[in-house]
């Protein structure tokens, strides 16, 4: 009996091409079924029973699903297809199933499978003695195994590095997860973990609740430890992570991390707590403290109020000086908490904020740290070339600074107005002119001077007015060569200002750290902050040079110096590089070649009379094939009468070696080369060996710290980490697991 002609052409020219199977009559209210296109070497059609038997290279297609096998018996009336021999089923979503035999119904969306092996679209694989396909979204497997490892190209039958076995596995694609009952984890053929129930994401989801990759190791302060995080996907915009970390030497630690994002706001918190002991420094002696409740709180948030205003908060608190370092959360010496709101509009800016500081340096005087509430600043800037060929600027700020107890407190108000203009001459000379004036008012209570000498007043008020002018000229020159461009630019600046009394009753809170370098040599006022003003007229000059390859490489240099017009009442401290009439020479060399694989940054400061070294800072990096070396060097000459009377000298060395596509070795070390004998030598050594596979990674880290700030004693830490794709944390800050990697074994 003839059937409607709907040919399906097979690539095999020897195949018997048959028309489509006849569609079945349906009620008018039901949706029309899609036809089944098929091809086979031989076809037998039983018109009376509506049964089609296909043999030899059988292939059926319907609704994007494909079935291939040696033989298929298809009952059109009941919509049931039975396939035997080399069965391959390809779902519309790309999943591929291999089986010995299968029975499918409901347009191949449901079925029973014997001896099934499935390869999912992300490369994950599953096996089972028996499978039930409930729908396109749900499979149920008996005596099954699962792995996220792709098949070995050389030997697809080779055992994967890891797999999960279970009596029952449910693949729930509508929930984007896979669940197991009576499961055990097999690593390289060895069962290592059993659980009566286990569930994990199926690899197609970006956010899913479940266990993350644990970490474990040994630390000389904590002993052995094991940290197990659990991720809770509360909503697409909200999540939390809970971590429990038992240790052998101290009490267990709990940690809660929470994140929430709104349309125009966000906030996140990080809190931990434990009951443990610590070592404190009392009169330069290590003293063991009794166990106590300890912890930390970090919080961060932001709100974009409208097109002009936004608010931000960043809170950092710790229970004691050693906690963050002891548990590896932070190496910071000062914790800063900040709450502020700021406004942007055109070229104008305003901010109001409050700040608090927690000093977690062992043995430091905690009362020295101030609280700032409020600090407010407004900055207004005119349009370019709108005022006498230049632009005006006005800046005002208000500061309230207080300390606990009898520490020095301060109120400060400051306003500065300026006008600036740039002129470029036809010959290429560039002139910049800036005229400005600043007015400051200070009110100080609980003065340090009174604490040192009761004859000095406890409270004091002072004000000052300071006009200044700065004129800068530069002459940038360039010449193009065949493979590079040469640039040379001499620059000089003249700064004019009246003498003021920098030793007045104005406290110095924000202008203490003065260091001459290439970044501030050409500034008019080289003091940071506002409390101190450079009241010496001076000239600064320098020379910039550069070679710039058309392929992206470059080499640039700078060398400069400044000179005061008089040498009376120099406001700078010894060691700053500015404490003499002729400043120290400062310079820099920066180079990058071979697409950034070779890089050097060097800054220096040398005495203007003797050329003796005052400061050197160097960082370099070179990459040669699979090996990268990097290192830094720092030298700062000691300054008598300061807290840095001894010279400081330190070198860090590091190397990364790509041993293969999968193996990476990283080593770092810190050496103290200072003149103080007890500090000289190796201070820290760190090594990490990482194996990064398509479906897992393993990292082993050994860290030897010979200058542990948390307790003043030496510390050794060994960390081991294993991550399994789809079973936990898929990526870390340094290593991407399973991305851009292929499996060869």
* 649-705 tens-digit pLDDT: 999 999 999 999 899 999 999 999 987 767 788 888 999 999 998 888 888 899 888
Q: In degrees rounded to 5, what are phi and psi of residue 448?
A: -60, -40
* pLDDT-wise least confident of 102-111, 231-240, 445-454, 524-533: 102-111
Is residue 3 very low, low, confident or very high in pLDDT (cuts 50, 70, 90)? very low
% of the chain exceeding 70 in pLDDT: 88
Secondary structure element (H or E) that encloses residue 323, with its range: helix 323-326
What does the pLDDT read at residue 5?
Answer: 33
**Residue 451, SS3 per DSSP:** helix
**For residues 243 and 255, what is the distance between their CA atoms, to the nearest angstrom?**
5
Q: Which residue has the tokens 């009490």?
A: 251
**Residue 366, SS3 per DSSP:** helix
3-state SS string over 179-219? EEEEEEEEECCEEEEEEEEEEEECCCCCCCCEECCCEEEEE
Which class would CATH give 37-205? mainly beta
Retrieve residue 576's tokens: 């700053």
Is residue 79 very low, low, confident or very high in pLDDT (cuts 50, 70, 90)? confident
Q: Are 674 and 649 in contact (CB under 8 A)?
A: yes
Q: What is the DSSP letter of 582?
A: B
Q: Are 586 and 518 in contact (CB under 8 A)?
A: yes
What does the pLDDT read at residue 643?
Answer: 62
Average pLDDT taken over every residue of the chain = 85
Is residue 220 very low, low, confident or very high in pLDDT (cuts 50, 70, 90)? confident
What does the pLDDT read at residue 389?
Answer: 93
Non-local (6+) Cβ contacts of 531 within 8 A are: 412, 506, 507, 508, 509, 510, 511
Is residue 469 very low, low, confident or very high in pLDDT (cuts 50, 70, 90)? very high
Query: Is 482's pLDDT higher than 80?
Result: yes
What does the pLDDT read at residue 121?
Answer: 84
What does the pLDDT read at residue 269?
Answer: 97
**For residues 707 and 679, what is the distance between their CA atoms, to the nearest angstrom?**
9
* pLDDT-wise least confident of 9-13, 171-175, 198-202, 530-534: 9-13
What does the pLDDT read at residue 687?
Answer: 95
At residue 191's C-alpha, the angle toward residues 189 and 193, to 5°, is 145
* Residue 549 burial by Cβ neighbours in a 10 Å radius (0-12, 13-18, 19+): middle
Cα–chain center distance at 215: 19
**Strand duo 477-480 + 460-474: pairing:** unpaired
Distances in whole angstroms, Cα of residue 348 to Cα of each of 156, 235, 629 = 65, 39, 45
What does the pLDDT read at residue 67?
Answer: 85
Is residue 199 very low, low, confident or very high in pLDDT (cuts 50, 70, 90)? confident
Q: What is the DSSP letter of 326?
A: H
**Residue 617, SS3 per DSSP:** strand
**For residues 176 and 209, what is the distance between their CA atoms, to the nearest angstrom?**
11
Q: Are 727 and 134 in contact (CB under 8 A)?
A: no
**For residues 670 and 707, what is the distance between their CA atoms, to the nearest angstrom?**
10
What does the pLDDT read at residue 281?
Answer: 61
What does the pLDDT read at residue 286?
Answer: 64
> In the chain, what are the helix, strand and coil shares in percent, each to the nearest 5?
0, 60, 40
Please give the model's pTM, rounded to 2 decimal places. 0.74
Q: Taking the CA atoms of the chain, what radius of gyration do you get in angstroms?
A: 36
Retrieve residue 171's tokens: 């693949």
Cα–chain center distance at 52: 61
* pLDDT-wise least confident of 247-261, 372-386, 721-735: 721-735
What does the pLDDT read at residue 424?
Answer: 96
Region 567-595: what's the mean pLDDT?
Answer: 90
Retrieve residue 197's tokens: 């129930």
* pLDDT-wise least confident of 54-58, 341-345, 436-440: 54-58
Q: What is the DSSP letter of 595?
A: G
Retrieve residue 666's tokens: 């990283």
What does the pLDDT read at residue 677?
Answer: 66
What does the pLDDT read at residue 366?
Answer: 58
* pLDDT-wise least confident of 110-124, 315-329, 416-430, 549-563: 110-124
Region 131-147: what's the mean pLDDT?
Answer: 85
Q: Are 109 and 128 in contact (CB under 8 A)?
A: no
What does the pLDDT read at residue 641?
Answer: 59
What does the pLDDT read at residue 433?
Answer: 97
Region 576-588: what's the mean pLDDT?
Answer: 94
266 or 2: whose pLDDT is higher? 266
**pLDDT tens digits, residue range 603-640?**
999 999 999 999 999 999 999 999 999 999 999 988 76
Q: Are 54 and 74 in contact (CB under 8 A)?
A: yes
Per-residue b/e over 640-659, b at no fewer than 16 CB within 10 Å?
A: eeeeeeebbbbebebebbee
What does the pLDDT read at residue 18?
Answer: 35
Is residue 4 very low, low, confident or very high in pLDDT (cuts 50, 70, 90)? very low
Region 468-487: what's the mean pLDDT?
Answer: 96
Query: Is 101's pLDDT higher than 80?
Result: yes
Region 400-404: what's the mean pLDDT?
Answer: 91
Is residue 203 very low, low, confident or very high in pLDDT (cuts 50, 70, 90)? low
Is residue 737 very low, low, confident or very high in pLDDT (cuts 50, 70, 90)? very low
Distances in whole angstroms, Cα of residue 344 to Cα of each of 265, 351, 379 = 17, 9, 10
């Amino acid at each position: 009996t003839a059937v409607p002609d709907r040919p399906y052409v097979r690539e095999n020219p020897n195949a018997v091409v048959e028309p489509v199977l006849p569609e079945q009559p349906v009620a008018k209210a039901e949706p029309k079924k899609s036809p089944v296109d098929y091809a086979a070497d031989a076809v037998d059609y039983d018109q009376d029973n509506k049964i089609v038997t296909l043999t030899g290279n059988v292939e059926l297609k319907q609704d994007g699903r494909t079935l291939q096998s040696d033989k298929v018996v298809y009952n059109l009336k009941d919509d049931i297809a039975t396939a035997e021999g080399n069965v391959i089923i390809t779902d519309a979503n790309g999943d591929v199933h291999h089986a010995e035999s299968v029975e499918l119904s409901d347009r191949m969306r449901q079925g029973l499978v014997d001896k099934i092996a499935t390869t999912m679209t992300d490369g994950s694989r599953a096996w089972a003695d028996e499978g039930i396909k409930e729908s396109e979204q749900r499979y149920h497997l008996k005596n099954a195994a699962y792995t996220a490892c792709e098949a070995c190209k050389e030997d697809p039958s080779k055992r994967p590095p890891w797999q999960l076995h279970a009596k029952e596995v449910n693949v729930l694609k509508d929930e984007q997860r896979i669940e197991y009952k009576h499961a055990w984890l097999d690593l390289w053929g060895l069962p290592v973990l059993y659980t009566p129930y286990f569930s994990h994401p199926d690899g197609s989801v970006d956010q899913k609740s479940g266990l993350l990759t644990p970490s474990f190791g040994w630390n000389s302060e904590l002993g052995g430890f094991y940290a197990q995080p659990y991720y809770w996907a509360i909503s697409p915009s909200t999540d939390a992570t809970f971590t429990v970390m038992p240790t052998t030497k101290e009490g267990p630690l709990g940690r809660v991390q929470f994140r929430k994002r709104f349309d125009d706001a966000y906030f996140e918190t990080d809190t931990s707590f434990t009951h443990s002991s610590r070592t404190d420094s009392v009169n330069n002696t290590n003293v063991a403290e009794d166990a106590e409740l300890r912890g930390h709180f970090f919080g961060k948030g932001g709100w974009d109020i409208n097109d002009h205003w936004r608010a931000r908060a960043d809170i950092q608190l710790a229970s004691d000086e050693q906690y963050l370092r002891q548990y590896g959360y932070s190496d910071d010496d000062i914790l800063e908490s900040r709450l502020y709101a700021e406004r942007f509009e055109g070229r104008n800016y305003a901010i109001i904020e409050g700040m608090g500081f927690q000093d977690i340096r062992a043995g430091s005087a905690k009362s020295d740290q101030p609280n700032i509430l409020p600090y407010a600043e407004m900055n207004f800037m005119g349009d370019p070339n709108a005022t006498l060929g230049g632009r005006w600027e006005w800046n005002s700020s208000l500061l309230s600074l207080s300390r606990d107890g009898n520490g020095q407190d301060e109120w400060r108000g400051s306003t500065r107005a300026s006008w600036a203009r740039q002129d470029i001459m036809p010959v290429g000379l560039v002139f910049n002119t800036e005229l400005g004036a600043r007015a400051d008012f200070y009110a100080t209570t609980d003065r340090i001077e009174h604490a040192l000498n009761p004859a000095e007043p406890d409270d004091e008020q002072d004000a000052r007015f300071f006009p200044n002018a700065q004129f800068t000229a530069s002459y940038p020159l360039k010449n193009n060569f065949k493979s590079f461009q040469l640039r040379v630019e001499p620059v000089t600046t003249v700064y004019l200002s009246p003498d003021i009394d920098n030793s007045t009753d104005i406290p110095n809170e924000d202008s203490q750290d003065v260091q001459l370098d290439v970044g501030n040599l050409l500034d008019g006022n080289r003091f940071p902050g506002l409390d101190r003003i450079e009241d010496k007229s001076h000239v600064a000059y320098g020379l910039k040079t550069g070679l710039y390859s058309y392929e992206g490489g470059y080499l640039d240099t700078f060398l400069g110096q400044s000179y005061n017009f008089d040498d009376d009442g120099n406001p700078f401290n010894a060691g700053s590089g500015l404490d003499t009439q002729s400043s120290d020479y400062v310079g820099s060399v920066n180079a990058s070649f071979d697409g950034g694989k070779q890089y050097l940054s060097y800054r220096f400061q040398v005495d203007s009379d003797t050329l003796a070294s005052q400061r050197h800072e160097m960082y370099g990096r070179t990459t040669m094939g699979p090996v990268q070396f990097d290192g830094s060097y720092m030298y700062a000459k000691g300054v008598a009468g300061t807290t840095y009377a001894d010279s400081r000298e330190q070198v860090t060395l590091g190397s990364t070696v790509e041993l293969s596509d999968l193996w990476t070795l990283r080593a770092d070390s810190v050496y103290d080369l200072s003149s103080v004998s007890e500090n000289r030598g190796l201070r820290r050594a760190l090594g990490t060996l990482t194996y990064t596979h398509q479906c897992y990674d393993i990292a082993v880290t050994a860290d030897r710290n010979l200058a542990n700030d948390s307790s003043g004693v030496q510390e050794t830490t060994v960390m081991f980490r294993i991550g399994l794709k789809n079973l936990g944390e898929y990526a870390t800050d340094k290593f991407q697991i399973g991305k851009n990697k292929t499996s060869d074994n």
